[in-house]
Amino acid sequence: METHQEKLIGIVRYQLFGGAKPQIDENELPAILKEASQQTVYTMIFPFLRDAIIKYSPEKFAQKNEQFLGNVLQNTANFFEHDELHRLMTENNIPYSAIKGLASAYYYPEASLRDMGDVDFLVRETDFERAKLAVMSIGFEIDHGEEDTSKHIAFQRKPLSIWEQHRSINGIPNNAAGKMIREEAERIIDTSVTVTLDGAVCRIPDTFHHGLIMLLHIISHMTSEGIGLRHLCDWAVFVERLGNDEFTELFEDKLKSFGLWRFAQIMTLVSQEYLGISEKKWAQNNSIDKKQLENVITDILNGGNFGKKDMNRYREIKYISNRGENTVDDKSIVSQGLSTLNRKVYNDYGWIDRHRFFLPIGWVAEGGKYIGLLITGKRKNKGTSVMLREAAKRKDIYSQMQLFETE
């Protein structure tokens, strides 16, 4: 971890949970601000640094302040749009639950500390078409995802509104654990609660289901392009709001049956070690050491929010995770790469999927495509060895999390 990253984490820790006020060298400000943008925590840390920025560079303050105000306006608009969503769904008698954004902001000491993006909401399959038409009736157009097989539809409304209507939550694996999680996810809308936050009225998941959605969302992105500090902050403020007994009663049995208890412990111990949340007895685990926690926070910082810092992470995915099942096992990166290649062949060539003894023909065909991309310059081979080394490191980190492994 670099010095400016340590300072950024110190500021985030102070803004969320108090404690000792971090001391910042003015020369570190550009690197801290850049990192904050990449980790999507800029709005949280800018007020802390405002006076130092003015002193360091009055000329650049206007630019940095404009970025901050732009984020504030976007966040404010997002709250109003969640309120608009609630009115729209209520008027049309469509049961729903907002997920992720406002639901996560609800647990922050101040909702304004949480940078907001899209408006994400979940509806039942039986209400999906009605909900789509309702959203389009208030000026939205479909951007993508209208296919029946899509997990969500993305809508856009000028100038900057983006809503995503989900038919299911992301990150559920296609295995025995996934079957249990899907059954549990069917209750999200029924158990959702109505809250008022910064003037916005909206329905969000109850405590247990919000925690489950967050864990699945983190895994889905961490094992692919990556997550940023914002995701860790979302988890940290959430678990800090719950007492030891309350969390254990709500989560332990179900998360163990889903193969997510160890992952919840790891993310909580990372939050303790680096963000300063209070000690959680339920998270203590002798098989999780400080080196593992260091590896996790380093991985978060290296990727940035959705891989903003390193586009190679998208290339690494095929060597890390079983994308069809949203799991990471102990295969070597070579075995994982071959497994991913096989799935791509089956997806691209249905006749090979039906007659798998023709699989080598698919390998040749995919290899030809790759060579064509290299020749045309659409794919660069520079840095492949570095990418493979990083993929191996990340795979080792995630394998130790034992994701979706049930007892």
What is residue 345's predicted lDDT score, i.e. its pLDDT?
Answer: 61
For residue 387, the tally of other CB atoms under 10 A from its CB is 18
Query: Which secondary structure element, helix H or strand E, spans residue 165, and what is its range?
Result: strand 161-166
378 inside domain: yes
Averaged pLDDT for residues 89-96: 97
Averaged pLDDT for residues 123-140: 96
What is residue 257's predicted lDDT score, i.e. its pLDDT?
Answer: 96
Greatest mean pLDDT range, 49-63, 159-173, 374-388 = 159-173
Q: Which residues pair with 327 in a beta bridge?
A: 322
**Residue ranges of the alpha helices (H) in 304-332?**
312-316
Are the CB atoms for 241 and 16 separated by under 8 Å? Answer: no
255 inside domain: no
Q: Strand, helix or coil at 322?
A: strand
Contacts of 209 (CB under 8 A, 6+ apart): 184, 185, 187, 188, 191, 192
What is residue 393's predicted lDDT score, i.e. its pLDDT?
Answer: 83
241 φ/ψ angles, rounded to the nearest 5 degrees: -75, -15
Q: Among 80-89, 228-237, 251-260, 299-308, which stretch is predicted with the lowest mean pLDDT?
A: 299-308
The structure's pTM equals 0.86
At 238-281, the pLDDT tens digits run 999 999 999 999 999 999 999 999 999 999 999 999 999 999 99
What is the number of domains present in the chain?
Answer: 1
Banded model confidence at residue 337, pLDDT cuts 50, 70, 90: low
171 inside domain: no
324 inside domain: yes
Q: Which residue bears the tokens 């300072």?
A: 7
216 inside domain: no
What is residue 56's predicted lDDT score, i.e. its pLDDT?
Answer: 82
Averaged pLDDT for residues 98-117: 91
What is residue 112's predicted lDDT score, i.e. its pLDDT?
Answer: 86
Q: Is pLDDT larger for residue 38 or for residue 359?
A: 38
382 inside domain: yes
161-166 and 193-197 beta bridge pairing: unpaired
What is residue 380's predicted lDDT score, i.e. its pLDDT?
Answer: 55
**Please, is 230 exposed, middle or buried when counting C-beta atoms within 10 Å of its C-beta (0-12, 13-18, 19+)?**
buried
Q: Is pLDDT larger for residue 377 or for residue 360?
A: 360
Domain enclosing residue 344, as ranges: 312-399
401 φ/ψ angles, rounded to the nearest 5 degrees: -80, -15
349 inside domain: yes
2-16 b/e (C-beta count within 10 Å ≥ 16 → b): eebbebbbbbbbbbb
Q: Is pLDDT larger for residue 325 or for residue 69?
A: 69
264 inside domain: no
Banded model confidence at residue 221, pLDDT cuts 50, 70, 90: confident
